[in-house]
Every structure is written in C-alpha cells, then in structure tokens.
Amino acid sequence: MPFLVLSAASVVGCQLEVSLDGLDPTTASSSVVGSSSSVTSVTSVTSVTSGGFGGEGGFGGEGGSGGSGGEGGGWDPPQFTPDKVDLLFVVDNSGSMADKQQILRSAAADLVFDITNPRCVDGAGHPVAETQQPASGLDPCPEGTSRARTPVSDMHIGVISTSLGGHGSGACAPTTSASNADMAHLLARSDPGVAGNDIPTYLDKGFLVWDAAASRTPAGDSDPVALAGKLGNIIQGVGQAGCGFEAPLESFYRFLVDPEPYQTMILDDDVAVPSGIDVTVLQQRREFLRPDSLLLVVMLSDENDCSIRDDDRNYLVAETRNNFRLWRPRSECAINPNDPCCRSCAQNQDGCPADPTCTGPDGNPARLSAEEDPVNLRCWDQKRRFGYDFLYPIERYTEALTSPTVSTRNGDTVPNPIFSDLDPADGNTRTRGPQHVVFTGIVGVPWQDLARQNAAGVPDLVDGLDAEGNPVGGLKNAAELGAPVD
C-alpha cells in the first residue's frame, strides 16, 4: 500500500491551519490526508448484538462496546476564540514506520514554522519574499502585507505512540520490546528500545512548550528552529519497535479522554479485566491539556486501526502463541456481514440454520487456516472474516471529540476531560467546545485511489491519463487529486 504524506503546507491546507481566527462556532473539525483504507475499515466497526462466544475454547460474556461516549443533549458549547494551542501527535511505532516518521519529522518542522511565524502575504494572498519575512511571529509584516493567519505564541506539543500492549494476550509484551506497551504516555526518548524519556522537555513534563514571549516561569522555547529540532528528535525516538496491533484511536482516547485508564490488564477465568488506574496518564493529561486551547490531534499510521475492546475475550484477536488461529465465520458472513446470523462458529448459533462449515474435524467449532487468518490482517474486515468485531465502535471516538460526557468502565456518565477544566486551581475556568477540536489523519491510501486511470476508467500505473488525456501513467499530481470526482 503506498503511503501518502502531504507536506506541512498541504496538511495546513487540510483543516490543520492552526488558525485562531474565524473558527466555526458550532462544529468540530476532522480531516483525513488521503482516503484512508484504515479509516474506512474503522468506520465499519459495529457493536456486537448477538452475544458473546460460547462452546469449546469460545468467548464468554456479552459483546458490548465498552465505555463509550455519553449523551450531549442540551449542551450549549461556549463561544470564544482560543489564544493557545495544544498539539498532540499520535505516531504509529510498529514495524515499517521509520521512513514515514522521517517524513513526518520534516513536515512537523515546517508546521512549527508555519504556526509560530505565518507567512506575510499581500492583498492578493501572495507571500512576501523570504528576505522580507519577519524573523519572528511577534514582529510586524512589511508595509502593505499582513499575516496569512494569527501567529501562535502559546503552544503545548506532545507525542504518544500507538502501542498499548497485548490487551491480555501474549502479544506485544514489554519484555520483548520496551516500546510494545507505551500505554499512551508522553514520549521524549532517543532510544525506542529503552523505557523512559531522556530528551529534555519542559520541566520534565514529557511535552514541549512554545513560549514566544517568554511569559512563563521558567520560560519555554522561543526559538522555532530549536523547537522544531526537539520535536523532530522526539518523533524519531518513537521508533518502529512497537506493537504490531497498532491502536491510534484508542491511544488518543486513553491519553485525552478515558476517565479510568487502566494500570494493568488481568485475566480472570480467561476474561480480560482492566485493573487499577494509570495515574501517569491522568497527571500528564492534566498538565498538557488546557481547558480553553485549540486542541489539535494529528494521527500518523500506515495500517488498519486495531483498537481492541478491553473486556471479555476480545484480546484473542491479538493472540499468536502456539500458532493460535481464530474461529471460522458462518457462511452468511461472506454474503452479508450485517446478516443477524453472521457470527463466529464459536458463538451461540440459536435462531440460525445449521452450518456444516462450522464444525471442525474434531467436532469442535471450526478454525481458520494460517492462510485464511494471517496475523498481520487480524484487524481488517473483521465481521466478514471472523463473524465478530473485536474492536471498539467508531462512535467511541467521534463522541469523545464532540460530546460533553463519556462513560466509565461501569457505564456511569462523567464529564468528558476534553471539555472540562482539569486544573480548577489555575484560575482558568473557560472550557472549549467541539468547534475547538481538530482531528487529522495522515494515513495509508490504496494505490488505486492515487493512480491515474486509463481510457476505460481503470487505475493504470503504465497508461493512466493525465488531466490533458496523455497516457503518462503514474500517480495523480496534487491538482488531479483535488479535482472533482465525476
């Protein structure tokens, strides 16, 4: 799968303008750089309504969605323009990510410069020459020009990975790699093979602080070149030795939203039970997330999201020990995954006709072969391939970015930390609304979406037609990608 990363300038043009002016007062903003296959697969996740798995070696309990967002009825979001930014990068650290992280490192530096010292433009929107650009966002533009957007002078920048361990399975143990279980803690390490941070951050809090006017005590970074260098080193230190069951959606949720991020996952009669509270996450969240900032979440990944539900036996989707293979789905799944009888052969079959393909040679629920169940594809197209969704529903995350309340493990409704004042003692009581949240994905794209099409309308890397109808092949350029779809 080709990996599409636009330059920072293009990312800025894709809803990540970091503009503190003219925010829509009523809507949250989300964008995807490219048409992500991983995002598409995530949005197809639905809650399981046919119950848990039973039978030999099967799953127990009800197939719920876990703690999801609460109801937002009657909420009147506050109306104001933020004067600060909290920027969180969620970076995939599974194998194959080093080259993408290097591109992000370069793009993030350009983004920092664009945020802190936006270009001066004339009345027609043309940028001034480099020699005329002010050295700082605090300096005025040349006469007759103005900033393309308001410079940001107060910003927190944090980085987390997508590795949340094995969820109760034997996969992704921290003893195998220290970065297998980063657990949404802020990262500032130079070596992904070593636990703990060693890159200096603001007061050792795990995140960087842009403080253009040196108004803090002690002052944060006021040199954009130095800030970009630090951020680049942190992104590089995320590494690619993390868990292959990457969970970017649950990672951002755990860091920013989860009211009870668990400390450990224990197995009770083979059922995963979250235990304890990760106070590190709560403390880092409280220090990083201001109540009235513009919150930006930038997610980088090249594979399907694998945000496994942390309950029942959903962890089995990540199990790899002893050549473990999942159970075969009923035959209805190949035709219609939404069929009420599309279930795993290990689930209760009540109300459905007998399916001879569901019984294995040993008389137990049939299992898939290694060819049918490659581990690297465990989080793709689950309902059709396995008859069961092991992942949290996408609504968990859309509601987390828009709803004033969320649910605890036990289903109790509590305030959403994103829209709450986490530090009442600081005297800042203004809280953001959904219009102050921007979520952007920089993700993998099917090559067919990028390739030029031939005269028959088929993606063709050899004879695909450009905008003038010439058979030049290759991938579409930026103008072609942005053209209306017929």
The C-alpha angle with vertex 273 and arms to 187 and 301, in degrees rounded to 5, equals 35
The domains located in the chain, with CATH, are 84-308+393-444 (3.40.50), 325-390 (no CATH), 453-480 (no CATH)
pLDDT, tens digit, for every residue of 190-247? Answer: 999 888 999 999 999 999 999 999 999 999 999 999 999 999 999 999 999 999 999 9
pLDDT at position 75: 80
Q: By the 8 A CB rule, do 471 and 64 touch?
A: no
Whether 28 shows a pLDDT value over 70: the answer reads no
- Would you say residue 465 has pLDDT above 70? yes
Mean pLDDT, range 49-74, rounded to an integer: 44
Among 5-14, 60-69, 461-470, the range with the most confident prediction by mean pLDDT is: 461-470
The answer to whether 239 touches 188, Cβ cutoff 8 Å, is no
Q: Which residue has the higher pLDDT, 482 or 455?
A: 455
| Residue 36, SS3 per DSSP | coil
* Backbone φ and ψ of 303, nearest 5°: -140, 175
Residue 340, Cβ density class (10 Å: 0-12 exposed, 13-18 middle, ≥19 buried) = exposed
CA distance 147 to 89: 26
What is the C-alpha to C-alpha distance for residues 48 and 386, in angstroms, rounded to an integer? Answer: 12
**pLDDT at residue 117 tops 90:** yes
Alpha-carbon span 1 to 302, nearest angstrom: 8
- E strand map for 344-426: 405-407, 413-415
Which band of pLDDT confidence, cut at 50, 70 and 90, is reported for residue 443?
confident
Rg over alpha carbons for the chain, rounded to the nearest Å, is 24
pLDDT over 60 (residue 48) = no
Distance CA(181)–CA(167), nearest Å, equals: 10
Phi, psi of 329 (to 5 degrees): -85, 160
Cα–Cα dist 166/181, whole Å: 8
> Confidence class of residue 426 from pLDDT cuts 50, 70 and 90?
confident
- Which residues lie closer than 8 Å to 259 by C-beta, 6 or more apart? 67, 406, 408, 414, 417
Q: What is the pTM of this model?
A: 0.83
- What is the pairing mode between strands 120-121 and 146-147? antiparallel
Least confident of 45-59, 76-90, 340-354, 406-420: 45-59
Q: pLDDT digits over 286-332, tens only?
A: 999 999 999 999 999 999 999 999 999 999 999 999 999 999 999 99
